[in-house]
Structure 1
Amino acid sequence: MAVMALMTAITSTQAAAVPIVHAPLARRGLPKSPSSDPFYDPPAGFESSKPGTILRQRKINVAFFGLIPDPVESYQLLYRTTAINGSAIATVTTVFKPTNAKKDRFVSSKRHMTAQPRSQLILQAYLLLGYVVASPDYEGPDAAFGPGRLAGTGVLDGMRAISSFSTLGFNTKTPQIVGTGYSGGAIATGWAASLQPSYASELDIKGWAQGGTPANLTGTLVYIDDTLFSGFIPPPAYGALINPVLDRIITDNGRSALNKAKATCAPGDLINFPEKSILSTDFQTLGRGLLYEPTIRSILQKNTMGVTKSETPAAPVFVYHATYDEIIPYANTSTLVDSWCDYGADVKFTTYGAGGHITTEVIALPEVIKFVEAAFAGTTDKGCTRNTELGSILNPLALGADLEPILIKLVEVLAKAGTGDSDIKKNLTVLEDVVTWH
């Protein structure tokens, strides 16, 4: 019943989505960039504090889509977490408290970096149900996209920070938690689930929900190389270990692409680096041999989920993925589920037989919410189960969802046609707008 009420409310006016507070909302100004905002600078000596320690806090004003003020209490917390090499770093989590907030639980929702409108809608759904929602910056102070263990510890330490934040008024020192994430957010969710038993066993985790999971970075790299989505590849290509290798093998064209990736966010990367190959000698001198370079190969292997039994989720997990996902290969997620099940995890794996990467995040939302509520209630199934949704072509929702993969392929065909035909380029721009908006 709660899910049906939620989906009805989402389609109604935003003003009715969350109970209105009587206090006037402060005028919302433009935030400073992190590089010019001293809030993001950790205080001296923070390294000696425990992971998850709150270093700074502030109340903020938030707005739906950046325009409509949200009647919720919102805060940012700077907290101590752990880098890949074990050193102390600081990052930020944003927390939202609705007026009807439950006192003993919260949801940690990891944002999809190229889908802010969808992510805000999903966040609003949890707020409507009365959940405090935390949205951690799991990429850390250097915006490192891809390193799974960094993202995982960032999420877990963010949970520690939220749990100890007395301003939220929890009635317990160990609130119940469910972690969710999609696509890039599923990297953070999957690794947090994997590391939690050893890194943060004191947290009262009730479940994890992850979709479109990049479970194997090697598989994802090969899958999207030289496609419309190859712009997702350059951003992860940084770090103390990988930089010396890149300096040795990178070409001028490759260096230019990486410099552009440093200066832009994900949408800009997709625009700057479509239909290009990081595995070509135009980008780096090793060609496909890049995958076998010892340092690169080691890094990619360490960022593959489900390899080690000791890194198996202890709480129930809901994994969902579209068969025809055009960005993240379905096969890698299926392999991850097999591994976790072999290691004794409780996993529900739902395959969406229609649609692609973008549509699945929205289509799966009712099932994700059902799982979140079941996890908090302790009524999720034991063991491993598999099911398929939208598997019938007679399903009208499946027919609609199937438009996404078709549009994506058509965009790729037009892109491959070259730049000589102005009509083709015009159509390409229109289709890209459609795909990006959806």
Structure 2
Amino acid sequence: MGHRRLTRTRTLAAAVAAVLATTALVVPSPVGAEPAPVGTGALRAAAPSPFHTYTGARPLAKIKRGTVLKTRVVTYSLQGIPVPLKVVQLLYRTTDQRGRATANVTSIIKPPVALHPDRVVAYGSFYDSLNPKDGPSYAMSGGTSPGGNAVHAELALVTPLLLAGNSVVVADTQGATADFAAGPEYGRTTLDSLRAAMSSPAAGIAPRPDIALLGYSGGAIATGWAAALAPSYAPEVNRLLVGAAEGGVLVAPDNNLDYVSGSRIWAGVLAMALVGAARAFEIDLRPYLNPYGRRVFATLQKASITEVLGAYPGLTWAKLAKKRFRDPTKVRPYVRAVNRLNLGQAPRPTTPMFIGQGTGGEVEGTPGDKPGIGAGDGVMIAGDVRTLARRYCAHGTRVQYRQYPLSHFTSVPLWLPEAIAWVEARFAGVQAPSSCGSIAPGTSLAPLPVPRRRR
């Protein structure tokens, strides 16, 4: 990457990070808001658009994963303002967190000049919302919800990839019901979106293209799980992968919930992730919640991360739970869910990895002195990420690990240029560098013991 392009990328990333950080810190608290009726984790939202709805006669379960069900071409819309970018959107068959057949939408952003139809970047969006209508496909096709603004900010992040002539595939990684933080589902929707994109004539992608995965924060959930699941779930996609670049990585959700518990900015994500996991696994957490916990869960049913960041300072699981359930590790459905979402227990990827992680979380109001956890970027734990990287190395995966002394938001301007340069080098056929052998030990990623059923 040339000096001018690198400078431009740093500037764009810094601007986007600043906008997102500012948005997060000024959102008013919804704690006192009148709650909606309490759900059990099932989504209570407006019906999906006709394009997002599968109406075929053949049952989805009998349709091959990645099959294109509908196609449309739209002009990218930035909060209703047309942008001169062509977007091919596909409704395709995929699999939800519980292994059931479902339909989802992916968006292929076409470059202004298709210099490399044989190169595809699967970009994981950090739209992080419990409302499906905040997803990339809605935002790009004219959606105006505030929660979709993250998608528009990300357009700046992927601009260097588009200018280089690459197609960028952006799936609604959280699926049709916005199952926030349900990592395996993110991975499956990503892999099936690539199957769909490669089979669609409208996408204009060459047969057997080189594919790179790229994502930060919520997008790293998609990138990391797609890389891990590809060898078994989509081996034909795995053979085309040249590498996966991720930053701000969620590894073991139970560790993260302990890390952000009681923090100033990120504590609300604890409840948001619990709502997402309950929805994904169809768990009813109401028996474990106190009245305040039920109000918070009800309020968050369609919340986006822009509404939650900074809105619940000091929130902990204990403040949400009934007295006898104040230790979440004694709640059987919780333990079973977080164990299944632990990336450290997932299969190891075979494609090269670039992994970046910050350690300056104090800036965003999350202390880094909790025993057994240590430093993080405010929401993600550096020790967890190091242990994950070391495990990949032990498995034979080439890993370049970069650690930044910055917070979750402020690490982006450092991570993004390095990640894009790393991806471009993989496309050019350069062997991936490796930090294996020099990555410091991290924290435990062992699964939690599952409590016995209460009689």
TM-score normalized by the length of structure 2: 0.74
Pick the aligned partner of 1:302 from 340, 344, 357: 340
The match for 1:109 among 123, 148, 165 is 123
Return the structure number with greater relative CO, CA threshold 8 A, min gap 6: 2
Q: CA RMSD in A?
A: 2.3
Percentage of matched positions with identical amino acids:
30
**Can you list the C-alpha shifts for 1:235-293, whole angstroms capped at 9, x where unaligned?**
2322364623x122111111111111103211112354332112x15434444421232
Which of residues 236, 241, 244 is equivalent to 1:205? 241
SS at match of 1:71: strand
Aligned position for 1:56 = 70
**Match in the other structure for 2:302:** 263
Output one character per residue of 1:372-401: Cα deviation in whole Å (capped at 9) or x when no partner.
01111221336544889xxxxxxxxxxxxx
Determine the structure 1 residue equivalent to 2:420.
369
1:107–1:132 CA contact under 8 A, matched in 2: yes
Equivalent in the alignment of 1:182? 216
Q: Secondary structure at the match of 1:371?
A: helix
Unaligned runs of 5+ in 1: 13-32, 389-438
1:34 CA drift (Å) = 7.0
Residue 187 of structure 1 aligns to a residue in which SS? helix
CA distance in 2, matches of 1:161, 1:3: 36
- Aligned residue among 319, 330, 334 for 2:355: 319
8 Å Cα contact 2:325/2:331 also seen in 1 = no
Q: In 2 relative to 1, CA 54–6 (structure 1 residues): closer, same or farther, beyond 3 Å?
A: farther
Shift of 1:69: 3.3
Q: Deviations over 1:301-340 (max 9, x none)?
A: 12111325xx111110000011221111111111111111
Pairing 1:410-429 to 2, within 5 Å after superposition? none
- The AA in structure 1 aligned to 2:242 is K
2: CA distance, partners of 1:306 / 1:178: 21
Number of the residue aligned with 1:27: none
CA distance in 2 between counterparts of 1:92 and 1:236 reads 22
Inter-partner Cα distance in structure 2 for 1:288 and 1:335: 28
> 2:164 — aligned with what?
129
Structure 2 unaligned blocks of 5 or more: 13-44, 129-149, 361-376, 440-455
1:90 corresponds in structure 2 to 103
* Distance apart, 1:131 and its partner CA: 0.9
Instruction: Check the 8 A contact 1:209/1:372 in 2, yes or no.
Output: yes
Q: What is the number of residues matched between the two proteins?
A: 361
Amino acid at match of 2:357: H
Q: What is the rounded CA distance, in whole Å, between the counterparts of 1:3 and 1:302 in structure 2?
A: 43
Distance 1:212 1:380 in 2: 24
Question: Is contact 1:91–1:137 with CA below 8 Å preserved after alignment?
Answer: yes
Say whether the 8 Å CA contact 2:220–2:247 is kept in structure 1: yes
Offset at 1:124? Answer: 1.5
* CA displacement at 1:11 relative to structure 2: 5.7
Which residue in the other structure is 1:119 paired with?
Answer: 154
Counterpart amino acid of residue 395 in structure 2: Y
Write the letter of the residue equivalent to 1:312: R
Which of the two has higher C-alpha Rg?
1
Contact 2:223 2:244 survives alignment (8 Å):
yes
The match for 1:141 is 176
